[in-house]
Amino acid sequence: MINQESAVIKGVIFGWRISKVIYFVLISCLIIVSISIKLSLFTSYFGYQGRVILSNSMSPRISSGSLVLTKEVTIDEVSVGDVIVVAIGEVSVGHRVIEKFDDSKTVRLKTQGDANKSPDDFWVTDATLKEQAVLSIPYLGMFLLKLQTVRGGIAAICFLLFMYVLDYFIKLLVDKGDGQCDK
């Protein structure tokens, strides 16, 4: 019976250590992505970029605060119904393609936000098209924006320290030896 309890306890500790590593890697990746979004203005990784949605023009499908994963495309690859990112001066706008005009000389796209009542007052050309949305993760973008603040960075560091201290206390509670934790 004692051997079974010992095996169960060792299994719990092993599971805890694995989950602690997963949490640590996840938080570290989020911090790295957050910093890269802040410092390098959406650096492309393998042709994909992360963009944080700041308005509700695409709600309810893509709400404000979502992280949208986009990929670089040409205007010929875009179809009606796709969500694209367009450069309008210094601002990037993500809207759905509602019309594709294709003559022998040029291809142009008409876009509209899902929550907007009327189409955008501009045509998208190959020069203004930036990317196409591939995946949207609700709330993660807002989390990454909060992580970029001083308070968010302190909270992430406190979370990592909490995980370390919790692991140490679990080792102390399980230890049946001479009162010292294994290193």
Which tens digits make up the pLDDT trace of 7-63?
555 565 566 666 667 777 777 777 666 666 555 445 566 677 888 888 889 888 888
Residues 153 and 105 in one domain: no
**pTM to 2 decimals?**
0.64
Could you tell me the pLDDT band of residue 96, with boundaries at 50, 70 and 90? very high
Residues 120 and 157 in one domain: no
Question: What is the extent of the structural domain holding 85?
Answer: 42-141
Residues 183 and 106 in one domain: no
Residues 35 and 49 in one domain: no
β 67-72/48-52 pair status:
antiparallel
Distance, C-alpha 144 to centroid of its chain: 7
- What percent of the chain is helix, strand and coil (3-state, nearest 5)? 40, 25, 35
Residues 47 and 137 in one domain: yes
- Under a CB-based contact definition with an 8 Å cutoff, are residues 30 and 147 in contact? yes
Nearest partner of 78 among 105, 47, 46, 110, judged by Cα: 110
Q: How many domains does the chain have?
A: 2
**Tens digit of pLDDT for each residue in 98-134?**
999 888 788 899 999 999 999 999 889 888 888 899 9
Residues 3 and 64 in one domain: no
- Under a CB-based contact definition with an 8 Å cutoff, are residues 42 and 50 in contact? yes
Residues 18 and 54 in one domain: no
Residues 87 and 171 in one domain: no
Residues 26 and 76 in one domain: no
Residues 73 and 83 in one domain: yes
Residues 98 and 129 in one domain: yes
* 82: CATH: 2.10.109.10
8-11: long-range contacts (C-beta < 8 A, 24 or more apart)? 9/174
- Under a CB-based contact definition with an 8 Å cutoff, are residues 168 and 181 in contact? yes
Residues 90 and 18 in one domain: no
